Amino acid sequence: MRITYAARMARLDLSLLWRNRTGLFSAVGMPLLFGALLLPARGEVRDGVESGLFAGTGYLAFFLIFAVFTNLVAVLTTRREDLSLKRLRAGALGDTEILGGSVLLAGGLYLAQIGLLVLFMSTVLGGRLPANPLLLVVGLLFGIAVFALLAAGVSGITPNADMAQLTSMPILMVCLVGSGVMVPLDGLPEWVRTVAELLPLSPLVEIVRTAYFGLDFTVAGAHAPVGFLAAWAACGEAFAIFGLWALAGWWASRRWFRWEPRHG
Amino acid sequence: METTAAVRVTGLRQRYGDFEAVAGISFEVRRGELFALLGTNGAGKTTTLETLEGFRPAGDGTVRVFGHDPYRERREVRPRMGIMLQEGGFFGDLTVAETVRHWSGFVPGARTADETLGLVGLRDKADVRIRQLSGGQKRRLDLGVALLGRPEVLFLDEPTTGMDPEARHAIWAVVRDLVADGTTVLLTTHYLEEAERLADRLAIMNYGRIAVAGTVAEVIAGQGDSISFRVPPEVTVAELPAFGGTAAGVEIDGGHPTAVYAVPRHGLQAALGELLGWAERRRLRLDGLQARSASLEDVFLRTVEGDPR
Ligand SMILES: Nc1ncnc2c1ncn2[C@@H]1O[C@H](COP(=O)(O)OP(=O)(O)O)[C@@H](O)[C@H]1O
Ligand SMILES: [Mg+2]
């Protein structure tokens, strides 16, 4: 992949987003809406931290679903069906440059949303700045890669743009409910927690909370403070789960992703 | 050193499921020539072209573009190709100029947007959104984008379908200039006139096979000429003599029985002499007398009327 060409593809994507009011709204409006939802929770405590910040860190992870996953499923499906993927492919761009460019823009927007939300949390909600910014960024990049691959796979089994919401729903719902975005999973039976930890968004939720608070959120119960290296060590298992999902996503995109509509 | 053929197709077969869309075709496009693949809808032209463009591997047989496998070595050959797909796929929300500018960023050493729009006559549409363009204007934009990287070989899939005659002639002029400058062109069309006017050589495809191929003259040759006239009232159909060794066929044309002779190659003059002598002796007036060489249309119609596999 030649990065300049992928960047030019991302620039094309940005022009298109600019022209597409609904897309623009969900990229910008969604974080604002969720930010506002955090305000009433100020002052309460949940899982050992202020509940506005607990939910906020959950949103940091969860935005990935909208900004990267459902967004890319819709974009790739629409472009396949209106033949623009094929048209892009008829030029001198390589396949990874075409797809990489779209991932670059989606991922970039997600990181911008993260930046805004972190700012909001550290000022309006009276929270801190991330304790381990490097861990946070690496975790986010892993998340972007995993969900971009999953999106490519899911787009392949999505017949048309109207069906995109439906086909991305299962992963969206499972991640919203099962990854501890809104509520801690502590009270649940052991086996449910084990399964929940294996969901594709769960590693990101754990990494983000651990990196933001500087507390070990990879374990249930009390979250002990962790230093720079200890935080990485604590997140090892989360990164391993991400690795497995990356493999699954790669396999799914290999198997299902298509550049052209099915015939007739 | 590369061989002189820009494109070489040998025994190509392509299937979709059980259906064989291309059933073993071979042809060559020499450097600097314009080769036309002529055929009705479903003949397999697009499938052939897209295989050459590297969108899919050859099912069987081999295809080479400048000696490379266009599927496996897409990286090497793609920058040397200009591709005009059968259907657009541009983004309706972008303007013409924006589209050309974005696409020129994807090609190393691209022409400027202004030069490109001038080439295909779209300068005055630069600020129009794509979704507001007519079908013909979209095709011209498509051609412009295909030309951005100054390709050595140009693949045009039905470049003038849906255009009015004026736009069509404009496109033909552009294509002719490109060929004059040394560009190799492989185009598909179902317009006979297009092939006749532009092609150095052509092949007529039918049901996945090449029925005839060669220069227009070669393809027409061997098809013979024809003579026809209305059967004069004084003559019964049974009385019509044979000329140049062929018996008359009779067709009803506008309510009149018309005699038609399919004359073998090089036999037109002799047959006409015999015909005129016969008419002279019998003092007949031959209304609607016509003598004509076979046209590409005759060959085309005869080919596509042929049996499906
Ligand atoms: N992706 C596809 N899947 C199944 N059948 C196809 C596909 N593309 C083309 N065909 C069929 O293959 C035949 C040849 O198609 P095509 O190459 O598009 O012909 P042409 O361009 O000459 O009209 C047609 O019968 C068409 O319906
Ligand atoms: Mg076609």
- For A84, the closest chain B residue by CA position comes to B89
Statement to judge: residues B166 and B192 lie in one domain: yes
What integer pLDDT is reported at residue A233 of this predicted model? 95
What integer pLDDT is reported at residue B1 of this predicted model? 45
Extract the runs of DSSP E, i.e. beta strands, from chain B. Answer: 5-16, 19-30, 34-38, 60-65, 81-84, 153-157, 184-189, 201-206, 209-214, 225-230, 249-253, 256-263, 290-293
**Contact state of A82 with B89 under an 8 Å Cβ cutoff:** yes
Statement to judge: residues B269 and B163 lie in one domain: no
Beta strands B184-189; B60-65: pairing state: unpaired
Contacts 24+ apart (CB under 8 A), A183-190: A183/A46, A184/A46, A184/A47, A184/A54, A184/A220, A185/A220, A186/A47, A186/A220, A186/A221
Instruction: Outline where A42-163 has alpha helix (H).
Output: 51-64, 71-81, 84-89, 95-123, 133-156
Domain finish residue from B200, B220, B240: B220
Using pLDDT thresholds of 50, 70 and 90, give the confidence band for residue B216. Answer: confident
Average pLDDT, chain A: 92
Q: Calculate how close chain A gets to B83, using CA atoms only, in Å.
A: 6
Statement to judge: residues B108 and B255 lie in one domain: no
What are the backbone dihedrals phi and psi of residue A146, each rounded to the nearest 5 degrees, phi first? -60, -50
Highest mean pLDDT among A181-195, B52-66, B236-250: B52-66
Taking residues B63-79, report their average pLDDT. 95
Q: How far apart are CA B250 and CA B258, in angstroms?
A: 5
Is the model's pLDDT at A145 over the cut of 80? yes
What integer pLDDT is reported at residue B217 of this predicted model? 85
pLDDT: which is higher, B7 or B163: B7
Structure tokens at B216: 């227009």
**Contact state of B105 with A89 under an 8 Å Cβ cutoff:** no
Interface of B with A (CB under 8 A): 16, 53, 55, 74-75, 78-79, 83, 85, 87-91, 93-94, 98, 102-103, 105-108, 145, 149
Shortest-distance atom of ligand 1 to CA B157: 21
Counting Cβ atoms within 10 Å, is residue B18 exposed (0-12), middle (13-18) or buried (19+)? Answer: exposed
Highest mean pLDDT among A77-81, B243-247, B302-306: A77-81
Beta strands B153-157; A49-50: pairing state: unpaired
Statement to judge: residues B201 and B238 lie in one domain: no
Using pLDDT thresholds of 50, 70 and 90, give the confidence band for residue B3. Answer: low
**Angle of helix A51-64 relative to helix A95-123, nearest 10 degrees?**
170
Average pLDDT, chain B: 90
Domain that holds residue B90: 5-220
Q: Where are the domains of chain A?
A: 3-256
**Cα(B209) to centroid(ligand 2), Å:** 14
| Single pTM value for the model | 0.88
Quick check: B172 and B189 in contact, CB under 8 A? no
**Angle of helix A95-123 relative to helix A21-38, nearest 10 degrees?**
30
What integer pLDDT is reported at residue A24 of this predicted model? 79
**Contact state of B88 with A91 under an 8 Å Cβ cutoff:** no
Q: Is B309 in the pocket of ligand 1 (CB under 6 A)?
A: no
Using pLDDT thresholds of 50, 70 and 90, give the confidence band for residue B90. Answer: very high
**Cα(B42) to centroid(ligand 1), Å:** 5
Name the closest ligand to CA B42: 1
Taking residues B94-115, report their average pLDDT. 94
What integer pLDDT is reported at residue A33 of this predicted model? 85
For residue B307, tell me if it sits in a domain. no
How large is the ipTM?
Answer: 0.89
For chain B, the first-to-last Cα distance in angstroms comes to 40
**Cα(B172) to centroid(ligand 1), Å:** 26
Statement to judge: residues B172 and B277 lie in one domain: no
A21-25, B137-141, B168-172: segment of lowest average pLDDT:
A21-25
Structure tokens at B260: 């038609």
CA A132 centroid distance within chain: 19
pLDDT one-digit tens code per residue, B222-253: 677 888 899 998 888 888 888 877 888 888 87
Taking residues A90-97, report their average pLDDT. 93
pLDDT: which is higher, B114 or A183: B114
For chain B, how many helices (H) and strands (E)?
Answer: 10, 13
Candidate from A20, A84, A93 with C-beta closest to B106: A93
Q: Write out B164-181 in H/E/C secondary structure.
A: CHHHHHHHHHHHHHHHHC
Residues B90, B94, B100, B101, CA torsion sign: negative
**Angle of helix A95-123 relative to helix A3-19, nearest 10 degrees?**
60
Quick check: A16 and A89 in contact, CB under 8 A? no
For residue B299, tell me if it sits in a domain. no
Chain A hits for B108, Cβ within 8 Å:
92
Using pLDDT thresholds of 50, 70 and 90, give the confidence band for residue A264. Answer: low
Selected for mutation to probe chain B from A2, A79, A88, A263 (highest B CB count within 10 Å) is A88
Q: Give every CB contact of residue B34 below 8 A, 6+ residues apart in sequence.
A: B175, B179, B184, B185, B186, B187, B198, B199, B200
For residue B32, tell me if it sits in a domain. yes
| Cα atoms found within 13 Å of the Cα of residue B186, Cβ hemisphere only | 28
Q: Is B43 in the pocket of ligand 1 (CB under 6 A)?
A: yes
What integer pLDDT is reported at residue B219 of this predicted model? 85
Give the SS3 label for residue B122. Answer: coil
Residues B9, B10, B13, B14, CA torsion sign: negative
**Contact state of B94 with A15 under an 8 Å Cβ cutoff:** yes
pLDDT: which is higher, B194 or A182: B194
Is the model's pLDDT at A60 over the cut of 90? yes
- Count structural domains, chain B: 2
Q: Looking at this protein, which amino acid is placed at residue B306?
A: G
Q: Is B46 in the pocket of ligand 1 (CB under 6 A)?
A: yes
Q: How far apart are CA A222 and CA A62, in angstroms?
A: 23
CATH label of the domain that carries residue B256: 3.30.70
Statement to judge: residues B100 and B169 lie in one domain: yes
**Angle of helix A236-256 relative to helix A202-213, nearest 10 degrees?**
140
Using pLDDT thresholds of 50, 70 and 90, give the confidence band for residue A16. Answer: very high
**Contact state of A87 with B105 under an 8 Å Cβ cutoff:** no
What integer pLDDT is reported at residue B239 of this predicted model? 86
Taking residues B125-142, report their average pLDDT. 94
**Cα(B32) to centroid(ligand 1), Å:** 28
What integer pLDDT is reported at residue B309 of this predicted model? 47
Counting Cβ atoms within 10 Å, is residue A99 exposed (0-12), middle (13-18) or buried (19+)? Answer: buried
Structure tokens at A95: 């396949």
What integer pLDDT is reported at residue A34 of this predicted model? 83
What integer pLDDT is reported at residue B174 of this predicted model? 94
pLDDT: which is higher, B305 or B2: B305
Contacts 24+ apart (CB under 8 A), B138-141: B138/B88, B138/B90, B139/B84, B139/B163, B139/B167, B139/B171, B140/B167, B140/B170, B140/B171, B141/B90, B141/B96, B141/B99, B141/B100
pLDDT one-digit tens code per residue, B184-193: 999 999 999 9
Taking residues B152-181, report their average pLDDT. 93
